[in-house]
Structure 1
Amino acid sequence: MPINKAIMAAMKAASRLKPEATKAYRLQRTLEDVASWLAAPDPRCLVSDMSVEMSDNHRVPLRLFIPREQATRGLIVFFHGGGWVTGSAQLYHDCCARMAVETSRRVLSVDYRRAPEHRFPIPAEDCYEVARRIYAGELLGDMPEDDIVLFGDSAGGNLAAVVSLMAKDRGDFTPRTQILLYPVVGNDYSDDSPFASVQENGKDYLLTAQDMAGYLDLYASSPNDLTNPYFTPLCADDLSGQPRTLMMSAEYCPLRDEDEAYAQRLAEAGNDVQCYRIHDAIHGYFLQPAMGGLIRDTYRLIRHFLDGEPLSSDESSLGSETVSHTESSADSEPSSDIDSSRGVDDSGTKGGDEPWRTILIADHATGID
């Protein structure tokens, strides 16, 4: 089901006319600040601000969202997107308020320091320290590790994955659950990228391959960072011992294939993985009101993953149709090949034993034919 032609033409024009990320991020911050402060507060949540002091005396701002009229089941620690250089807890205020209500969980939004003023590894270390204190019970009191979820979108998805990798290596705590929404897990957005989605989706869908290359340049402290697993999770040699993972990729996103490759590698390493490709979705749809159908269905997937809420086989329950899915057997040969027409290929395992799958979900939101 293709994107509406008029919307496609508008996206293509906007993608090709906008300035490079390395030159435009300051203007983008200003525009985001104006837009975020114009948003009305969500009356469904109690909101409070706090902070965590780092070893260099910087205080990382945090924003806590608590649903007013429903019991909560745990905590989501949320890391916002924005290429490590834009985005903020304020920009994601409405998103996190809705997240709290939709998931019946408290949501803690982390306003980590941004590049290029604070390059790698500072944003990752900010996020790790916040998570460490939460798991230690130093911020919000003691709670079972199973009740804490790490969640991030885009660059925030990168940070969520990196916090999990750091936690395994350092041994301070053990994340049990992570949700990665079109995360940045690769490091090559050139014409020679091994992932077909970079070429297929890297020019016309708002987030471009050139943007991604610019964000990497703004975030990295040195060229060597590009192969550091805490910068590029796909560079990790060992992905065993990672949390139960929900990966959601977007069909028209340049990151699509690297996301599905990371899900596959997590599964091959014996982790419990669910991977969904959202059909007709572009990068960043989670913040776009016009993509209401996609957002609604994304929360259904999240509730299914977190709480076991059933996904009805009725086509109306998740978009207009379930397009296809792939499965693999536990004894299939591991492979890193990506079939871009179907998502992840028929290899990899869920939890080391069970099949795992990539499901393509079609949208019925405004602007979709």
Structure 2
Amino acid sequence: MEIERSDRPPSRVNWLLRRVMRYFAAPRLNMREDYEKVRRVQRQLAVLPGPRFHALDVEIISADGDHPIPVRVFHPREQRRDEVLLFYHGGGWVTGDIESYTPACATMADLTGCVVASVDYRLAPEHPYPAGLEDCLRVARLLLADPTRAGIEATGEIVLVGDSAGGNLAAVVSQQLRDEGVAGAKRQILLYPVTHWDHDPATSEFASVRNHGDDYRLTNTEVQDYFDLYVPDAAQRKLPTVAPLMATDLTHQPDTLLITAELDLLCDEGEAYGAALERAGNRVRVHRVNGALHGFITLPRFSRSLREAYDVINEFLDERVPGKDAEDAT
């Protein structure tokens, strides 16, 4: 599988910058104890002055009728495409919500010209696996069948999008819909997704876990904390519904754009998932953003990494696959 890379050369982080980044890395936080503080800070940052946006808040009732699932629908200032991007936010299944991701989703709507529907799925540890996944599946099933259930007048297809843990959820939703025999999304965009269960540098098969797991924004310790909170039963972490790279059948998955960040410990496992999808006969495009850290989709609009990613995303959304319409009609 060919991996596209940025025009800029791979990064060479000098020792001083590495020490500064290590100082601010996540081991300074104990996520198992501090996740509520992180949530509060994320929400506070999200209300800082930013671009104007038009959004509609709706609620979808869970399959068991037990709770509502909030969905925030963002409309771009100029709608240039008919696709609706169904977005699952990151945050290790523990932090993040539609409030903290509002700036990123407003940016996504404007830079793609698409309507964006952001899902406020339940978070661990209050709601461990599979609660959040069930919420994501519920919204996907309903919107794929009838987007008006979320107040969306859609004439185009639903595209699954997720970053980090949200990328994990998007990948798992696609696998689950296939297993259920439900018509899933035709395309998905996975941004630096979590696809594997092992992030211990002593045992991981991925070099990026060893090379980038203690110096940068996301660390081995933080990922392990997230897994402890999201899937308390360690025996379940190898399930494909937690680690989609563990799936034995990856056939009939959506056309996939998979974007990774060079300085991210998840870089190699994300690219490994892209390779596995391709081996299973799926159409896959993998793009690595050189010099990028984990979580760059939430950076300001002037960020070089973010703008590069959206250039690739827009190219992917513009693509039309020869024979796809005829294939879907049969």
Which bin holds the TM-score, normalised by the shorter protein?
Answer: 0.7 to 0.9
Distance, in Å, in 1 between the alignment partners of 2:215 and 2:301 is 18
Moved more, 287-296 or 229-238: 287-296
Change (3 A) 1:175 1:143: same
Change (3 A) 1:153 1:124: same
Normalised TM-score (structure 1): 0.79
Q: Is the 8 A contact 2:187 2:255 kept in 1?
A: yes
1:149 aligned partner: 159
Once the 2 structures are TM-superposed, how far is the Cα of residue 5 of structure 1 from its aligned partner? Answer: 5.7
Once the 2 structures are TM-superposed, how far is the Cα of residue 71 of structure 1 from its aligned partner? Answer: 3.9
For residue 274 of structure 1, the aligned residue among 280, 285, 288 is 285
Q: Is the 8 A contact 1:16 1:204 kept in 2?
A: no
Change (3 A) 1:295 1:225: same
- What SS does structure 2 have at the residue aligned with 1:240? coil
For residue 117 of structure 1, the aligned residue among 101, 123, 126 is 126
Letter in 2 for 1:19: L
Letter in 2 for 1:136: A
Change (3 A) 1:46 1:16: closer
Moved more, 54-63 or 9-18: 9-18
Q: Is 1:102–2:130 an aligned residue pair?
A: no
1:69 aligned partner: 78
Q: Is the 8 A contact 2:60 2:68 kept in 1?
A: yes
- What SS does structure 2 have at the residue aligned with 1:194? coil
The aligned length equals 307
Q: Is the 8 A contact 1:50 1:61 kept in 2?
A: yes
Q: Is the 8 A contact 1:74 1:148 kept in 2?
A: yes
Once the 2 structures are TM-superposed, how far is the Cα of residue 7 of structure 1 from its aligned partner? Answer: 4.0
Distance, in Å, in 1 between the alignment partners of 2:113 and 2:249 is 34
- What SS does structure 1 have at the residue aligned with 2:287? strand
Residues 289-324 of structure 1 show CA distances to partners (whole Å, capped at 9, x for unaligned) of: 397011111000001111049xxxxxxxxxxxxxxx
Letter in 1 for 2:282: N
Letter in 2 for 1:115: A
> Where does the alignment leave 5 or more consecutive residues of structure 2 unmatched?
1-10, 325-330
- What SS does structure 2 have at the residue aligned with 1:167? helix
1:357 aligned partner: none
For residue 262 of structure 1, the aligned residue among 270, 273, 279 is 273
Q: Is 1:21–2:12 an aligned residue pair?
A: no
Q: Which has the higher contact order (CA 8 A, sep 6+)?
A: 2
- What SS does structure 1 have at the residue aligned with 2:71? strand
Distance, in Å, in 2 between the alignment partners of 1:148 and 1:34 is 31
Letter in 2 for 1:102: L
For residue 188 of structure 1, the aligned residue among 181, 194, 198 is 198
Q: Is the 8 A contact 1:77 1:108 kept in 2?
A: yes
Distance, in Å, in 1 between the alignment partners of 2:37 and 2:210 is 27
Once the 2 structures are TM-superposed, how far is the Cα of residue 2 of structure 1 from its aligned partner? Answer: 2.1
Letter in 2 for 1:38: L
Q: Is the 8 A contact 1:46 1:65 kept in 2?
A: yes
Q: Is 1:179–2:189 an aligned residue pair?
A: yes
- What SS does structure 2 have at the residue aligned with 1:62? strand
> Where does the alignment leave 5 or more consecutive residues of structure 1 unmatched?
310-350, 352-369
Moved more, 287-296 or 55-64: 287-296
Distance, in Å, in 2 between the alignment partners of 1:11 and 1:30 is 23
Q: Is the 8 A contact 1:70 1:104 kept in 2?
A: yes
Q: Is the 8 A contact 2:26 2:221 kept in 1?
A: no
Change (3 A) 1:266 1:16: closer
Distance, in Å, in 2 between the alignment partners of 1:161 and 1:48 is 26
Once the 2 structures are TM-superposed, how far is the Cα of residue 212 of structure 1 from its aligned partner? Answer: 0.7
Distance, in Å, in 2 between the alignment partners of 1:21 and 1:227 is 22
Q: Is the 8 A contact 1:3 1:280 kept in 2?
A: no
Residues 191-224 of structure 1 show CA distances to partners (whole Å, capped at 9, x for unaligned) of: 1111111110000002101111111110004223
Q: Is the 8 A contact 1:285 1:291 kept in 2?
A: no
Q: Is the 8 A contact 1:135 1:143 kept in 2?
A: no
Residues 256-284 of structure 1 show CA distances to partners (whole Å, capped at 9, x for unaligned) of: 11111100000000000000111111111
Change (3 A) 1:175 1:277: same
Distance, in Å, in 1 between the alignment partners of 2:211 and 2:162 is 24
Once the 2 structures are TM-superposed, how far is the Cα of residue 56 of structure 1 from its aligned partner? Answer: 4.1
Q: CA RMSD in A?
A: 2.0
1:52 aligned partner: 60
2:141 aligned partner: 132
Letter in 2 for 1:236: A
Q: How does 1:209-248 map to 2 (within 5 A)?
A: 209-248=220-259
- What SS does structure 2 have at the residue aligned with 1:302? helix
For residue 46 of structure 2, the aligned residue among 9, 15, 36 is 36
Distance, in Å, in 2 between the alignment partners of 1:4 and 1:293 is 20
Once the 2 structures are TM-superposed, how far is the Cα of residue 3 of structure 1 from its aligned partner? Answer: 3.9
Distance, in Å, in 2 between the alignment partners of 1:52 and 1:158 is 22
1:294 aligned partner: 305
Moved more, 49-58 or 238-247: 49-58
Normalised TM-score (structure 2): 0.88
Letter in 2 for 1:280: G
